[in-house]
Structure 1
Amino acid sequence: MVRMARAFSSFDCDSDGKISAAELRLYVEATLGDGISAEDAAALVESVDADGDGLLSEEEFLKLAAEGEGGEEDQRRRGLRDAFGVYEVEGRGCITPASLRRALSRLGASRDVGDCRAMIQRFDLNGVGVLTFDEFETMMDS
């Protein structure tokens, strides 16, 4: 569940502690590799939205994620690879500060390259200034 809580934070683009249907669409695309319609995302939100605010709290998001998670390691790694692909947009097989900035910008969370460099540095285990998939996986598991 720690991994899913971290996913919640990653996809809470505006850091308001809630995930909108639009943010949920990004999550589904990143984890499953398939897009869903705005209507389907809204229906998913509505299906677990206990307080009726049209947004998912972390608890509601975790409930939704638990319903969709098969629990198999292969599925988990595929989901991580898909999420990694959202941020690895340069085709270099790693997340660079520039690719992280672009991906966050597309998700509505603008950061400058210096901020992105600092974010990467926290999990850059080999100290080369980028995140490999293994480092990304370690970050998501922590």
Structure 2
Amino acid sequence: MNSHSIMAVSSVFAAFDKDGDGKVSTSELRRCMEATLGESVSEEEAAAVLAAIDADGDGLLNQEEFSRLAAGAHEEEDDADVKRRCLREAFGMYAEDTTTTVITPASLRRTLSRLGSHELGVEECRAMICRFDLDGDGKLSFDEFRVMMMA
């Protein structure tokens, strides 16, 4: 994984890890899912998503497990659905606003700043996006974001 990909996965993971303990609990995952989806998510649904990703069975999601999820380590259809949903939730955290389906340099910078990442300029964010901007529009669609997370 290159440094931009590692930083992107780390930033997405940090968004889920609200208490900063290096692990994502069911309740943290549930809160992120609700905030991103804009709808209620049951504790059981969040637990099922977490269990599908939890390789070591500790009931928590560490960054390595999250990275494997983002890299597409799970191949079964159910796991693919879980992976796509988790990536969709992460994508929503970076999108320009709730009505658009793209990540812009400004929205990437704003989200990374909110997550406590070191301060990046718009040009640095534009360069991060450019690397994975397959259609050259200067923004990341969900499919381009998925490619970035799997890089």
TM-score normalized with structure 2 length: 0.56
Q: Which residue of 1 aligns with 2:148?
A: 139
Q: Which residue of 2 aligns with 1:10?
A: 11
Contact kept? 2:94, 2:107, Cα under 8 Å: yes
Whichever residue aligns with residue 33 of structure 2, its letter is: G
Across the aligned residues of Structure 1 and Structure 2, the Cα RMSD in angstroms comes to 3.8
- Long gaps (5+) in structure 1: 14-18, 36-46, 49-59
Contact kept? 2:132, 2:148, Cα under 8 Å: yes
Q: Deviations over 1:20-48 (max 9, x none)?
A: 328857x8368x6147xxxxxxxxxxx97
Q: Which residue of 2 aligns with 1:62?
A: 64
After TM superposition, what 4+ stretches of structure 1 lie above 2 angstroms from structure 2? Answer: 5-13, 19-25, 27-30, 60-66
Contact kept? 2:23, 2:63, Cα under 8 Å: no
Which residues in structure 2 correspond to 1:45-60 (within 5 Å)?
A: none
Task: Indicate how the Cα distance of structure 1 residues 64 and 23 shifts in structure 2: closer, same or farther if over 3 A, else same.
Answer: closer
- Long gaps (5+) in structure 2: 36-56, 69-73
Using the alignment, how far apart are the partners of 2:65 and 2:87 within structure 1? 19
The alignment status of 1:20 with 2:29, answered yes or no, reads no
